[in-house]
Structure 1
């Protein structure tokens, strides 16, 4: 009868030991190994998994190419808005096990440039067809639900701290460089 008794004391010791080991953060490595770099200048690091300290998965992160400050000298979080190739982002989020090669990243960036170029050609073709048919080829007019319900005055700011010139340039980075304006 004594042989069928569950070993509950051993289970509690096991759980308590692993709980205490998970608090031993100081034993974990502090410096990661450099895994790779991307064309934007970001550097990617990895710490291997250490199951004895409660870390079952490796730790992955990157350091951005450079810190940026905005016009008001407010510090912007470094790397928060930096450019990341999709291959490296999938590696950081554990969607892929192996780090991407430089050839993969460059091929992906070249494909993105080709798509931008093709999109610009299609848009130009659409504009010429619309102009030949006598249709306005400009951007669509705002509909009633898109119009602002309050008046705008030239001597007042729409967004606090932003001038009208800053809001026009805000989307410049995201526009297709091959499009004619």
Structure 2
């Protein structure tokens, strides 16, 4: 008797695998500057659904290296309740561009051929002068 139910379940799952899957019908929340569309199905506590379902449709379907703004990612992962505003995203984008510019300027100041060797141990701590001691009773610099 148990074999019939197993075979029936396998057969039913096999037949259901050929059915066309429909996209979930969610409400379009917004679109970002990259062209990604964000959707949401609100939570329904009466129906037993305590968290909203959120997802996005990427602008380019075949690109697997998707880039989404940090604010939208936080919204997708339910770390924030409300979707981000355009002003928040613009401010974050401007800050990101400023950091990239500052990093490029800092990179251009360092010589390209200079080896960057990691300093380990006590030497990695900053040294301030003779008036400070590294260890109790010992001067920092040798005299």
TM-score scaled to structure 1, two decimals? 0.48
What count of residue pairs does the alignment treat as equivalent?
95
Per-residue deviation, 1:81 = 2.0
Taking the aligned partners of 2:86 and 2:33, their CA distance within structure 1 comes to: 8
Match of 1:51 in 2: 45
Shift of residue 53, structure 1, vs aligned partner: 2.5
Residue of structure 1 in register with 2:125 after alignment: none
Query: Which of 131, 138, 143 in structure 1 is aligned with 2:113?
Result: 138
Alignment of 1:86 with 2:61, yes or no, is: no
Structure 1: how far apart are the matches of 2:42 and 2:107? 48
Match of 2:13 in 1: none
Where structure 1 has 5 or more consecutive residues not aligned to the other structure, the ranges are: 1-29, 69-77, 128-136, 142-181
2:58 and 2:52 map into 1 onto residues whose CA distance is 20
Query: Aligned equivalents of 1:110 and 1:121: distance in 2?
Result: 17
Structure-1 residue corresponding to 2:79: 95
Distance 2:39 2:96 in 1: 26
1:66 paired with 2:60, answer yes
- Higher relative contact order, structure no. (Cα contacts within 8 Å, ≥ 6 residues apart): 1
Take 1:45 and 1:91, find their aligned partners in 2: how far apart are those partners?
A: 11
Q: How many Å apart are 1:99 and its aligned residue?
A: 0.4
Segments of 4+ moved more than 3 angstroms: none
Which protein is richer in strand relative to its size? 2
Instruction: Tell me the alpha carbon deviations over residues 72-120 of structure 1, each in whole angstroms, 9 at most, x when there is no partner.
Output: xxxxxx6x42110000000001111110001111111111011010111
Q: Distance in 1 between matches of 2:52 and 2:90?
A: 26
Residues 1:35 and 2:29 aligned together: yes
Q: Secondary structure at the match of 1:111?
A: helix
2:91 to 88, 96, 107: 107
3-state SS of 1:61 partner: strand
SS for the counterpart of 2:110 is helix
The normalised TM-score by structure 2 is: 0.60
